[in-house]
Chains A and B, each alone.
Chain A
Amino acid sequence: MADRAKALLATALEIDEAAVPSDASIATLEAWDSLAHLRLVQALEKELGRELPAEHIFAIATLADVVAVLEGRPIG
């Protein structure tokens, strides 16, 4: 699932997967801007086939959070 999460994040940020480190976060990736976050939320919702709860839209801030959302685990 980590590979899928990295691919989704890279696509949303419009960067190469190789440029997404395992500890990627909003604080460390300049490409993670407001529109990239919108693309990421849309991609996750498409992948999961449902709308993300509001709390997830706010909470997702790292690659690990993306993995957690895909695996249906709590974030953080």
Chain B
Amino acid sequence: MSDKPQPQPLAAPASGQAGRAATTGTPHPGVPPAAWRPGQPLRLETEHYIVRSMQHQDVCEDYLAWTKDEEIMSGVNSAPSNMSIEDLHKYIGRFNNKTSFHFGVFLKETGRLIGFYSCYWEQRHNLASTNVVIGDKAYWGKGAVLETRDAIIDFLFDRLKVGKIWGNPMARNVPSVFNYKAQGFRCEAVLKSHRISPTGERIDQFMFGLFPEEWAAHKAKRAAARAARRQGA
């Protein structure tokens, strides 16, 4: 069995149009980490969000609009795309839920999609990455990445036994840099003038790394800090 991403069968969007994410009362598809097997859609739950493998019925106009938004795409150092709904279906089909995962971030309360992750597990080096876009700007600065990536990191380290997670945001993507730092990633390098921005400038790029033992230590330290804050409050 190849570890390369295998295309999933494409499903036609419901009623011939872009569907909505699962709404209130509709169970979210996917398997919780404890019962999950490679190839199955995964479902993670946090306090405010459901993070689960994107399904074709999740493709929606909001998702398409995010790919065309200059401000959102600049966060991943890309120019606005001219993707179509059909292109999004093809994109989703590239993820195999074994070594590549395309997770939607859904509001637990309403089921609305607010963003997505593309995560990759390079098995040869047992190395994983988590690339996130929060498309709904109302959720910028609200801790959505910290809360949801916590669950993904736990899955990668605890369930997949990944040996290291890395991230490489552009230096001027300050919110992303902040989030990596806040989750205990170490700065391993700053690659100077390493990439070309959509506007043609050469820009710096970070290389962040996180090992399982560092994640465990970070979580323990964070829990202690929260307890201290509660006691002080």
Contact = CB atoms under 8 A, between A and B. Distances in A.
Interface of A: 26-28, 30, 33-38, 41, 54-55, 57-58, 61
B206 interface: yes
A34 B190 contact: no
Contacts of A35: 140-141, 175
A33 B183 CA distance: 12
Contacts of A34: 140-141, 145, 174-176, 178-179, 182
Given A27-B225, A28-B225, A28-B229, A58 B177 contact: yes
B177 A36 contact: no
Given A38-B178, A55-B190, 13 more contacts: A27-B225, A34-B140, A34-B141, A34-B145, A34-B178, A34-B182, A35-B141, A35-B175, A37-B174, A37-B177, A54-B190, A57-B171, A57-B172
20 contacts: A28-B229, A33-B141, A34-B145, A34-B174, A34-B175, A34-B176, A34-B178, A34-B182, A35-B175, A36-B141, A37-B175, A37-B177, A38-B178, A41-B174, A54-B171, A54-B190, A54-B204, A54-B206, A57-B174, A58-B177
Interface centre among B141, B179, B225 (most CB of A within 10 A): B141
A61 to B, nearest CB: 7
A35 B171 CA distance: 15
Interface string B166-198: 000001101111110110000100100000000
Across the A-B interface, give the 7 residue pairs with the lowest CB-CB distance, nearest first: A35-B141, A34-B175, A54-B171, A37-B178, A38-B174, A34-B178, A54-B204
B227 to A, nearest CB: 12
Nearest to A61: B181
A17 to B, nearest CB: 20
Interface of B: 140-143, 145, 171-172, 174-179, 181-182, 187, 190, 204, 206, 222, 225, 229
Nearest to A27: B225
Contacts of A41: 174
Contacts of B225: 27-28
A37 B145 CA distance: 15
Residue of B140, B145, B174, B190 with most partner-chain A CB within 10 A: B174
A53 to B, nearest CB: 8
Contacts of B182: 26, 34
A54 B177 CA distance: 9
A55 B179 CA distance: 15
B35 to A, nearest CB: 33
Contacts of A37: 174-175, 177-178
Contacts of B204: 54
A61 B225 CA distance: 15
Contact of B177 (A27, A33, A57): A57
- Of B140, B143, B181, chain A has the most CB atoms within 10 Å of the CB of B181
Nearest to A59: B187
